Amino acid sequence: MLEAMKQKETHERIVPVEGVHNLRHMGGYQTRSGQETNADLLRAASLHRMTDGSSAELARLGVRTVVDFRSEGERKTLVTPELARHGIKQVAAAVFQSDASPVALEGEFPGFAVVYETFLETGRGAYRSLAETIATTEGRLVFHCAAGKDRTGVAAALLLDLAGVDDADILTDYSLSCALLAPMLPEWMAGMAARGLDPSRAERILASEPEDMASLLGHLRERWGSAGGYFRDIGVSDDTLRAVRGRMLGSC
C-alpha cells in the first residue's frame, strides 16, 4: 500500500508538456516540521525541443520564470525558443562555462559523487542566482540543465534540504530522473558513441543512483552543515533564504 501511494505521488508530480523531458514539480514532500512543499518550483531537462504551443502551455501552467543552468555554448547550440512573448522571463545561470559535464571528463569517470561536489564549487554563482530569482519573482519557476538530472539534481537537493525535507525523499526525487529520461536514451547513446565513449561508461553517466546523491548530502553536511549553510557561504542573505523557504512551503 505504501509503495503504491509513493508511485501515485510520483506520477502526480510529472508535468506533461510536449518537447520537455523530466519535467516535474517539487510539491507534496513532507518536511520535518510537518509542512508540505508546494508545486511552485519545477525541474526539467533542456527546453530547446519545445514548440510555440508547448511554450504557451508552460505559460498556461503558471510558469513565469525559467532558470537555465547550461553553459553559454550549450545555450547557443541548443537554443530555447523565445519565451518572452508568453510572459516568461529567462535567466541564464551557468553552473560551468568550460564543459565540466561527465561526458567531457577525460580519463576514467570518477563517479557522480565527485562531479556533484565540483558543481557546488563551480556553480556558486548559479545556485545563488537561483535562490535570489526564486525569492524575487512571482508565478511558477522552472530550473533546468541539459538532462535535468545533474546540475538540476544538485539544485533540487539544495532546495529540498533547505525546506526541511528528509534525505530519503531527496534521494527519491533524484532517482526519478533515470526512468523519466528513458525516451532520450537512443539520442544520447548515439551522441556518446560518436564521441568515442565506451557503452558501459555511457550507461553510468545516464544513471541516477541514490547513493551518488547520498554522498553529496554527506559532503554538504560535513562542510557546510546544511543547504542553508552552503547558501550563506555563497552570498545568499538570510532574508532571501526565508523567502525561498516561504515560496516552497506556501507561506508567503
Q: What is the pLDDT of residue 190?
A: 75
What homologous superfamily is domain 2-247 in, according to CATH?
Protein tyrosine phosphatase superfamily (3.90.190.10)
119 in Cβ contact with 222 (< 8 Å): no
Q: What is the pLDDT of residue 105?
A: 52
Where does the chain have alpha helices with state H? Answer: 2-13, 52-60, 72-77, 112-122, 124-136, 151-163, 167-175, 177-180, 185-194, 199-205, 210-224, 227-233, 238-249
Q: Where are the domains of the chain?
A: 2-247
Mean pLDDT score, 13-28: 95
Segment 105-161, tens digit of pLDDT: 555 666 788 999 999 999 999 999 999 999 999 999 999 999 999 999 999 999 999
Q: pTM of the predicted model, to two decimals? A: 0.90
Q: What is the bridge-based pairing of β-strands 24-25 and 41-44?
A: antiparallel
